[in-house]
Structure 1
Amino acid sequence: MSETLQATDIATSDADLLTQTAIAVRTAGSALRDRFGEVAPYRTRDELMRALAANDDTALAILRPALTELRPQAGWVEDELDGGALPPGEWWVVDPAEGNVNHLHALPEWAVTATLVRENQPVLTVVHLPLTGETYTALTGAGAYLDGRPLHVSRTTDLGLSIVATSQARPDEDETVVRRVGSAITAMLLDALVVRTSVPATLHLVNVAAGRIDGFWQFAGARADLLPGALLVTEAGGRISDAEGRPWTPQSSSFLAAAPGVHAEAASTLSR
């Protein structure tokens, strides 16, 4: 079989896989939507962790068997807060309740995501927002889409006219990282038009891919909160790097996704 035919077969297979992945992610999102509405009561850290786990378990009960059936040979990342490189082969990187703490507080900013990683490169991703019904998808080399409509990052060329955003990577972050976050927000407040700060990262990144905001950065971070958006932004024509403009990998200590016209300026601001 020729290399061209093999590549075509893989692309066709991945496109079909993306369709089936989206069905599984939307089904899990529906289950989480049924649990949404009231602020979850908790008085201790243990009670909070149990409430978070209950949401995760609800979505994983749907996602894990469905995605395993689709790709039985693929590994499964157990902890959505894990970072760094993955072992060789294919892996499902899933966040069953991205923005879980928002869900528990009856805030609308949460999603369900699933990304297939092959040899440490994201191949396809699905991000579903159950409260709006929106589904963002991307396939390497085939573009990024919102419910079938192609996405493109903004054409802004001036950071001073840009809306940018950042996110807290995780609770109980290292103090050094926290202080770096604060300094970067201050720098962006001076250089950008508007700075948005909220969790989760993925919802900012879908906005970058859709051209609604012009850039997003984060210090530290996990695969599950950056890989989906990284693929969406790249396929929508954006640029991905670390905060200083160097090539980004899951091992990087920072992340920047931006429209091409403001990427260099944003990296310069974050490097101060």
Structure 2
Amino acid sequence: MSETLQTADSTVVVSDADLLAGTAAAVHEAGAALRERFGEVVPYQTREELMSALAANDDTALRILRPRLTRMRPDAGWVEDELDGGALPAGEWWVVDPAEGNVNHLHALPEWAVTATLVRDNQPVLTVVHLPMTGQTYTALAGAGAHLDGRPLRVAGTEDLGLSVVATSQARPDEDEDVVRRVGSSITAMLFDALVVRVAVPATLHLLNVAAGRIDAFWQFSGARADLLPGALLVAEAGGRISDAEGRPWTPQSAGFLAAAPGVHAQAVSTLSS
């Protein structure tokens, strides 16, 4: 798909593929800035100190991402809080997580990323997820597939949940008590039905692994757009199935999320629904 950008002198046609390339360049630059800040564990003794350290990382990346992405799509909205959920108003929106897995970064753990997703009328149309510690970049363009550094991705062909590696994550540190209990019971259920259960943050890195065929399913209760939209597009474009935890079509308003290889999706729904 192509979009039209008006300039002072002429009308320029910008394809979504060109937007994807520009988004990747911006995300790479932001990732490099965050990598320069990575190293020793960042100490904090209070919640305020923790929030200040998280914000410093976010601000470092956003100083690069926001002007670069806004120049490409000046009329697109901007999601201010990466923990927000629910539907967006009509039109184009940038959904960005400047430091996905920010708490890992502060603890000198390498599992973090920078993500940017363009959403059009509540449908993700392109996404970039860059892992600065490995140099890997995952991209997806609606209708054009998912890729890792230009190589096509495909979900696993597993057909038995009992032979599957599955994963989950927590959406927020201060999650609703009912959601926390549901997460706990779902992990217990999967420990009985799947081969291996992985539990860690951030969600996006698990979803990259589903898209790449390394693990077979990921689920989460509650969640934010920035957590789930990039991975949802990557998994869908890699041939996976996206639904809520009961197998219904997923939207950002859904209470649960499931991304799985087609061969184990129904079995995962059955486990989570029980």
1:107-162: per-residue Cα shift (whole Å, max 9, x none)?
A: 01100000000000000000000000000000000000000000000000000000
1:172 to 165, 168, 174: 174
2:262 to 237, 260, 263: 260
Q: Is 1:96 the counterpart of 2:128 in the alignment? A: no
Q: Is the 8 A contact 2:164 2:194 kept in 1?
A: yes
With normalisation by structure 1, the TM-score equals 0.96
Q: 1:8 to 1:30 in 2, by over 3 A?
A: closer
| Cα deviation code 1:237-271 (max 9, x no counterpart) | 00000001000000000000000000000000000
Say if 2:201 is the partner of 1:205.
no
Contact 2:2–2:16 under 8 Å retained in 1 = no
Aligned to 1:37: 39
Aligned to 1:148: 150
Separation in structure 2 between the aligned mates of residue 148 and residue 192 of structure 1, nearest angstrom: 31
Distance (Å, rounded) in 1 between the aligned partners of 2:41 and 2:29:
23
Residue 237 of structure 2 corresponds to residue 235 of structure 1: yes
CA distance in 1, matches of 2:3, 2:57: 37
Per the alignment, residue 119 of structure 1 pairs with 121
Partner of 1:56: 58
Cα deviation, residue 8, structure 1: 6.1
Match of 2:224 among 222, 225, 238: 222
Distance 2:254 2:199 in 1: 21
Equivalent runs, 1:59-138 vs 2, <5 Å: 59-138=61-140
Q: Following TM superposition, by how much is the alpha carbon of 1:87 offset from its aligned partner in structure 2, in angstroms?
A: 0.4
* Runs of at least 5 residues in structure 1 that lack an aligned partner in the other structure: 1-6
Q: Which residue of 2 aligns with 1:188?
A: 190
Range with bigger deviation, 10-19 or 47-56: 10-19
Q: Which SS does the other structure have where 1:230 is aligned?
A: helix
1:172 aligned partner, one-letter code = D
- Please state whether the residue corresponding to 2:29 is helix, strand or coil: helix
CA distance in 2 between counterparts of 1:77 and 1:218 reads 21
Structure 2 residue runs without a partner (length 5+): 5-12
TM-score with structure 2 setting the length? 0.96
Aligned amino acid, residue 157 of structure 2: R
1:4 aligns with none
TM-fit CA distance, 1:12: 6.5
Note the alpha carbon deviations across 1:170-223, whole angstroms, 9 max, x for none: 101111000000000000000000000000000000000000000000000000
Tell me how far apart the structure 1 counterparts of residues 34 and 152 of structure 2 sit (CA, whole Å).
27
1:88 match: secondary structure: coil
| Paired position in structure 2 for 1:46 | 48
When structure 1 is superposed on structure 2, of 191-200 and 7-16 the one drifting more is 7-16
Count residues in correspondence: 266
Q: Which residue of 2 aligns with 1:245?
A: 247
Distance of aligned partners of 1:8 and 1:42 in 2 relative to their CA distance in 1, 3 Å threshold: closer
Instruction: Give the SS at the match of 2:59.
Output: helix
- Aligned counterparts of 1:52 and 1:62: Cα–Cα separation in 2: 16
Aligned-pair identity in percent equals: 82
CA distance in 2, matches of 1:92, 1:8: 17
Give the CA RMSD over aligned residues.
Answer: 1.1
Q: Contact 2:93 / 2:118 at 8 angstroms: preserved in 1?
A: yes
SS at match of 1:202: helix
Match of 1:22 in 2: 24
